[in-house]
Amino acid sequence: MILRIPEIKGVLVTAVLLAALVCGCARMTPPREADALYLHLGAEPGTLNPITATDAYAATINEHIYENLVERDYDTLEIVPRLAERWTISPDRLRYRFYLKKGVRWSDGVEFTADDIVYSFRALKDPKTASAQLKVYYIDVKDVRRISRYVVEFTYSRPYFLALEFCGGIPIVPEHIFNDGTDFNTHKNSRFPVGTGPYLFSRWDTGKKIVLVRNDKYWGKKPEIRKIVYKLVPEINVALQMLKKGELDVMSLRSIQWVRQTGTEKFNSNFYRLKYYLPRYNYIGWNARSELFSDKRVRRAMTHFIDREAILNKLLFGLGRIVTGNFYIESRSYNRDLEPWPFDPEKGKALLKQAGWSDTDGDGILDRNGKKFSFTFTISSGSKFGERLTSILKEDLSRAGIEMNINRYEWAVFVNKLNSRDFEAVTLSWSLGYGGDPYQLWHSSQTERGSNFCNFSNREADAIIEAARMEFNEDRRTRMYHRFHEIIHEEQPYTFLYSTPALVAVSRRFDNVKVHKRGLNYLEWKVKGK
């Protein structure tokens, strides 16, 4: 299960992408519509409002319905025009003026203009709008104003090194639809979206599928694929069976599926198997609001009790790399001088003893001031990796005198638990942007309503985050981020686990399937023989 916001914003993801235990390769049967693309969706999105959505399921769908002013090029990762044909930046880097493409229309026929951008910004910034995950990227935007029907200008109160990316990447919704006096957060368009993109929303059959159809009046190059069908299949073993039968065209594979269940000659004759890295990592988060995990010695001890190398090999078949911090492992911001804390149970026990934990009553469970070292690990009920990981941890921690319970929740409830900070420990993943700004996840201001779910707070870290946002010299900013990485490594608000590759199966009934630096681009695919 993946939560993300398209490439420019950080978002949370369940620690395991997929799971199944399916063997053999069933007879291929073509999907009902040859010119449709059938995609696996592991859980239902909460909303299709791009301003309030926080999960990757919504983002996967919305990226074909809605558009931004700019986007990243799939191969170079450079920022290139989308709805804006060009832009200018003032010498002091405080004003960003975008010149819009003319003739772009929302899917209901109304013209897209600068008014939609101004409205979207004000909606996003409205305190009543549930968009905490986005607000942090616009805290220094002083004003957004309409210069003319096709020109809009963002004015900053102070420079921000990712300003172009986030001004240009602001999610845009149609003012003429949303501005009707109803609650923005629950607006009907959140379920029946109207966008400017290459596909139109067609239908949403709750618990079954979401369907998009090609926008034949799209302003840009029209995709070859006429329809995209997102099939909701929570059970990953069932999804793999459907893939093999031809009822799905694309799905992300779990490591065991990649290694043991999809490597046959027959499977490879029917599917491309694609492996590539994107900026993401998974982790175990320790909620510092919990009395147990408010002490960094305890958090580091927990990391010493976890044999990450063994878990990587056992659960993920070695497909991944252990990480030590929050930045994309391939970026300059990632501090390669830091070594992962080793698996060292004795060191962990020593740290707990320093923190005052010992077994005073001889019952085999550590205690302090009359309280047992007992906590609950919260996981999504659909995460097979989470199930296996917590099973291993429960046994290993018991040997260290720690009692661990496991609570499982359906995805929507699980996300609510995160948002309300109602957990002690969780396993998740983050899908990151390429820019690297850690404000959303790590600044102390984000502990209440932002994405700092584990309530990490450190004055030096805050100062670095704030200073780095205004540093345009990459070398100096890199040094700042390396120091920030050291702080995170020392504090261990997370036990950082792995950067794992995307493992994707794609039906060979499509041509022009390429892996770009930014991943896969369905819009360039073609149905064979069409």
Give yes or no for residue 162 having a pLDDT over 80: yes
pLDDT in tens, 212-238: 999 999 999 999 999 999 999 999 999
Mean pLDDT of the chain: 92
HEC-encoded secondary structure of 303-324 = HHCCCHHHHHHHHHCCCCEECC
Does one domain contain both 488 and 416? yes
Q: Which residues of 88-101 are buried (b: 16+ CB within 10 A; e: fewer)?
A: eeeeebbbbbbbbb
pLDDT at residue number 17: 33
pLDDT in tens, 330-377: 899 999 999 999 999 999 999 999 999 999 999 999 999 999 999 999
Mean pLDDT throughout 285-304?
A: 97
Does one domain contain both 17 and 120? no
Query: Does residue 473 belong to any structural domain of this protein?
Result: yes
Does one domain contain both 365 and 466? yes
What pTM value is reported for the model? Answer: 0.86
Give yes or no for residue 14 having a pLDDT over 70: no
Contact between 166 and 437 (Cβ < 8 Å): no
Query: Does residue 487 belong to any structural domain of this protein?
Result: yes
Where does 439-521 have alpha helices with state H? 439-442, 459-469, 474-491
What is the C-alpha to C-alpha distance for residues 198 and 217, in angstroms, rounded to an integer? Answer: 8
Does one domain contain both 320 and 469? yes
Last residue of a domain, one of 186, 206, 227: 186
Does one domain contain both 385 and 446? yes
Does one domain contain both 94 and 213? no
Where residue 433 falls among pLDDT bands split at 50, 70, 90?
confident
Amino acid at 460: E
Query: Does residue 137 belong to any structural domain of this protein?
Result: yes
pLDDT at residue number 32: 66
Does one domain contain both 439 and 460? yes
Q: Provide the CATH number for the domain around residue 50.
A: 3.40.190.10
Read off the DSSP letter of residue 26.
P
Query: Does residue 1 belong to any structural domain of this protein?
Result: no
pLDDT in tens, 43-57: 899 899 999 998 888
Where residue 34 falls among pLDDT bands split at 50, 70, 90?
confident
Where residue 450 falls among pLDDT bands split at 50, 70, 90?
confident
In sign, the C-alpha dihedral spanning 248, 250, 255, 260 is: positive
pLDDT at residue number 21: 27
Does one domain contain both 60 and 90? no
Full residue range of the structural domain in which residue 318 is found: 281-499
Does one domain contain both 267 and 290? no
Task: Pick the closest to residue 126 from 51, 46, 50 (CA basis).
Answer: 51
Query: Does residue 191 belong to any structural domain of this protein?
Result: no
Number of domains in the chain: 3
Does one domain contain both 81 and 158? yes
Give yes or no for residue 261 having a pLDDT over 60: yes
Q: Provide the CATH number for the domain around residue 376.
A: 3.10.105.10
SS3 category, 351: helix
Does one domain contain both 219 and 250? yes
Structure tokens at 287: 């909620």
